Structure formats: C-alpha cells, structure tokens
Amino acid sequence: MRKTTIYLTIFLLIFSSCSKEDEIQLLDIVSEKFENLYAPQNGGRNQRTGQMEPVSGEFTKFNFSTGQITTSDTDWDVAFRATTIIVNGGVSLETIDEPTRTGNSAVYIANGTMSSVTDVDLMSLTQDSSNGYAVPTGGGNGWYTYQGPPVNLISPTPGKILVFRTNDGKYAKMEILSYYKDAPENPDAYTDETPYYTFNFVYQPNEGVTSF
C-alpha cells in the first residue's frame, strides 16, 4: 500500500511538472501594425492612353513569424503587387515576375472585425490555383472597393479580415487599413502615393493552435 502511494505521488509530481512545462512553452500571440509596405507594379492601365499593358514587377513578400518583408524565395507567407495579394501555396498563374509557390500557405476572407474573428475555419482555407488567386482580384471582389471617376479611390472594404495558414503551418489574421502612403484618414488618389499597404496583423506562433 505504501509503494502504491509513493508511485502515485511520483506520477502526480511528474504530471504536474509536465503541465507546467507545457504552459511555460506556450508562446505569446503577436499583435502588430505594419506601415507602408511598398508593393509597386509595372504595366496595367496606361493613364495617358487608357490602354492595358502587360503587368510585371516583383511581388513584395512578407513573413508573419518575423513580422517583416523578406526577399527569400521560399520563406514567405503572403506577397503583394499593387492590389493583388498572393500566398505561398498552390500554383502560380505565371504572370511576369510572379514567384513560384514552394510552401503550404493558404487564406480566406472572413467577415467581421479583428476582435470578432477569434478562430480559424480550416475548411475555408484556399490556395492560389490556375483558376485564380485565393484572394479574389478586382474592386468589390476581395479585400478592397474601387470608387471610379472622378475620385478613382481604392479603399479597404470594412469588415473583411484575411485569415492565413502560414508557410510553416501556423496561423495569422490581417486587417488592411490603407493602400496609400502614411495611411491618410481621407486619402486623395491624385496626391497620395500608392501602393503602400498599412495593416494590422495577429500571428499565432504555437503549433496546432487555431485560435487568436
């Protein structure tokens, strides 16, 4: 009876120690704001002639784990070129200068706010494909709304939160705040520079955790 009590005590101590160790190893969720991510493109609609020209230019790549822009060919999660957003997962549409997908990133657009989107809907995650990008392009289709002449303004659509699976299997969410340099409260498409993304993002660094 005494040995059983001793073994039970040892087991409880080990279990308690492991539980505390697991809690200590849990990393803090990262919540940050990134300002003025510059994502230019060449081509598109010629403002002088009104004609469409082939789109090209390097995508600006971003890594959620570092919270920084990266030039790596492999270690990136999401990338931007003008209003186009791609992920490092799926296949390339083979536009000029578009990077090869080497990872398993995916994304979907959730309706809500940064505070209300608290869990990842795994079934909604989508990768870029030969049929189109996971984040739809065009005003009113994905993350932004386009207001035509005479204002010609690109504005993030309220209530659209981008939820990501990252290249290394973690999760993140993003709220795009502005497409204009320094995120003016009332941007002017004719005087404010583009394309400069300012966004809030939350990164969940713990493996297998799908909540924020």
Cβ neighbours of 171 (radius 10 Å)? 25
pLDDT for residue 11 is more than 60? no
Residue pair 104/165 in contact (Cβ under 8 Å)? The answer is yes
pLDDT for residue 151 is more than 50? yes
pLDDT for residue 45 is more than 90? no
Alpha helix locations (H) across the chain? 2-25
pLDDT for residue 24 is more than 90? no
- List the domain boundaries for the chain: 29-204
pLDDT for residue 122 is more than 60? yes
Average per-residue pLDDT in the chain?
A: 89
pLDDT at 47: 52
How far apart (Å, rounded) are the C-alpha atoms in residues 86 and 137?
A: 10
How far apart (Å, rounded) are the C-alpha atoms in residues 210 and 212?
A: 7
| Mean pLDDT to the nearest integer, 114-132 | 97
| Comparison of pLDDT for 43 and 42, the residue scoring more | 42
Least confident of 4-8, 70-74, 138-142, 159-163: 4-8
Q: What is the pTM of this model?
A: 0.86
pLDDT for residue 3 is more than 70? no
pLDDT band at 1 (very low <50, low <70, confident <90, very high): very low
| Mean pLDDT to the nearest integer, 63-80 | 98
| Mean pLDDT to the nearest integer, 164-190 | 97
